[in-house]
Amino acid sequence: MTRAEGILNLDASTLSRRIAARELSCRALMQASLERIAALNPVHNAIVSLRDADTLLAQADAHDAVLARGEIVGWMHGFPIAVKDLSDVAGLPTTMGSPAIGLRMAQADALFVQRMKKAGAIVIGKTNTPEFGLGSHTYNPVFGVTRNAWDAAKCAGGSSGGAAVALALQMLPVADGSDMGGSLRNPAAFNNVLGLRPSRGRVPAVPAEDVFFQQLSTEGPMGRTSEDVARLLITMAGWDDRAPLSLAEAWPDPAGEDPIACEPGQRIGWLGSLWPDLPLESGVSALCAATLQKLQAAGFEVEPCTLDVPREANWNAWLRLRQMLVGGKLAPLYAQQQHLLKPEAQWEVEQSFQLTAAQLYQASVQRTQVYQAFRKLFERYDYLVAPSAQVFPFPAEQHWPKEIAGVAMDTYHRWMEIVTPFTLAGLPVASVPVGFGAQGLPMGMQVAGPPRSDLRVLALARACERIAPWSHVRPAALAHPA
C-alpha cells in the first residue's frame, strides 16, 4: 500500500485528528485525493467542474501554514470537498445537470457550504447529479453518466450519485447530498456508504426561492462511517432566520470526542416492503433480514409491523405535492426552453398544470395521515426499518427500471416508492449498508427514528456497523486505482 492509499483509507474523523496533531499535512491529503480522482474519475465520472490542481495545492499549503502557527480552523481543516451540483459554490458553475441552465457561475456559497468552509474544508469542485436532481439515476446531458463504484457498468443511484461514488472510491472523506425521493438513501445503498436524510428543518436551505412550501427536500450528510456522518450533520445543521422552518437546538461540538454520544434504543419495527403488494427484487429483503437477525442476536428487539396508510393514499400525496414543487419551480424554464428539459422534467411540469387546490389540500391531508401512522408506530418502537431501494443497481444505460419482479412501473420514480413515506413524514432516516446481492452489488437498509432523533438514528447505524461491518468492504477498483 502506498502512502497515498494509506491516507485515503482513513475515515474522516481519523483524518481530522491526524491533521490537527500535524501527523498528516493538508497538502499530502489534497495530493492523494487529486491523484485518486485522476485515476478513477475518467471511468466513474463522480467529480465535475474540478478546480485547477495548483490552486487547490496552494490552498492546502495555506491551511498547513495555519497549523504551523498552532491554529486550526475546524474539524474539516484541509479536507477536499466537492459539492453536489444543485447547490452554489462561489466561483464554480451550478449547472443542475441541465443545458437549460448552462454553466451559470455562482456568486455566493450556499449556507451549508459556508458552514463547511468555516469548519476548514476546501471545495475542489462539484459532484454529478441527474438533471434538476430528478430521478434516482445520475446522468445528464451536461456531464454524462456517473457509474457505480462497485461495477462501472451499473448505475450509481441518485440524485446524490456523484457524491456516493466519490466517497466509495475514497476521492473525498465526506460529502454533502440532498434528498427528496431517496436521493441520499438510494445512492448510499447502491455504493455501500452511509447517507442521512435529516429531520425536516435540520439543515436550512439558504438561499431558496420558497421557504414555506418546500418541505419535501433537504440537504444532508454522507460518509463512510456513522461518526463521520454525525460530524458533518452537526456542521451543516442549525437555525438560520432566512429559513423560518429550520430547527434551533443545542448540539454537540462537531470536533468533540463522540458526536453521537447516545446509546441506541432497543425496539426495532421491521416494515419489510411497507405494503404487501410493493414489489422488491429478489435478495433485497433477505439482506436486510440478515442484518436484523444479527441485531436481534446482540440484544435488540425486532418484530414485523405495518404502516397503517393505504399505499395509494401515500403515493397520491407524494405525486401531487412533488408535482406542485417541481412543476412550479421548472414552469418558467418549460415555457422558454421546453425542448432542453428531459422528458421526466417536462412530465412533472405538465402534470402540475392540472392540479387543483382541492387536490393539493387532499394531498396534504393524506400526508398528515402518513405522519400520524408513523407517530403511532413510534409509541411502540424506537426505530422503523425497511430496504433503501426496491432493486439492486441496474445497467447505467437504462434510465429507470420499467418493471420490478414482473410488476410494471407507471412513472419514472415509482421504483423508489419505498422511500416516499419517510420523506412525507419528515423523519430522520439513514441508509446503512447491509451487504451484497448475488451479483456482488450493494444494498442498504433505511433506519428511521421519530422527528428530531437524528443522532439516535446514527447511534443505531453505528450499532449496525459494529455488528455487520459491511461499510469496511472496499470496491475492487481500489485494488489498482492508478
CA 211 – CA 166 distance, rounded (Å): 30
CB atoms within 10 A of CB 473: 12
In angstroms, the first-to-last Cα distance of the chain is: 12
CA 25 – CA 424 distance, rounded (Å): 44
DSSP three-state, residue 140: strand
Residue 412 burial (10 A CB sphere; 0-12, 13-18, 19+): buried
CA 300 – CA 294 distance, rounded (Å): 9
Catalytic residue among 16, 183, 226, 431: 183
> Is 431 an annotated catalytic residue?
no
Q: In sequence order, what are the residues at sequence separation of 6 or more whose Cβ sits closer than 8 angstroms to the Cβ of residue 58?
A: none
What letters, b where the CB count within 10 A reaches 16 and e where it falls short, cover 244-282? Answer: eebbeeebbebbeeebbeeebbbebbbbbbbbeebbbbe
Beta strands 218-223 and 194-197, pairing class:
antiparallel
Catalytic residue among 84, 126, 154, 342: 84
> Is 183 an annotated catalytic residue?
yes
- Is-contact 220 169, C-beta < 8 A? no
DSSP 244-284: TT--------TTSS-SS-SPPPSEEEE-TTSSTTS---TTH
CA 320 – CA 44 distance, rounded (Å): 34
Only one residue has cell 455562482, namely 106
Q: How far is CA 466 from CA 102, 161, 473, in A?
A: 45, 26, 13
CB atoms within 10 A of CB 341: 21
Helix axis angle for 454-467 and 226-236, nearest 10°, is 160
CA 368 – CA 29 distance, rounded (Å): 47
Catalytic residue among 159, 199, 388, 431: 159
What's the one-letter identity of residue 292?
L
CA 6 – CA 227 distance, rounded (Å): 20
| DSSP state, residue 157 | -
* Active-site amino acid positions: 84, 159, 183
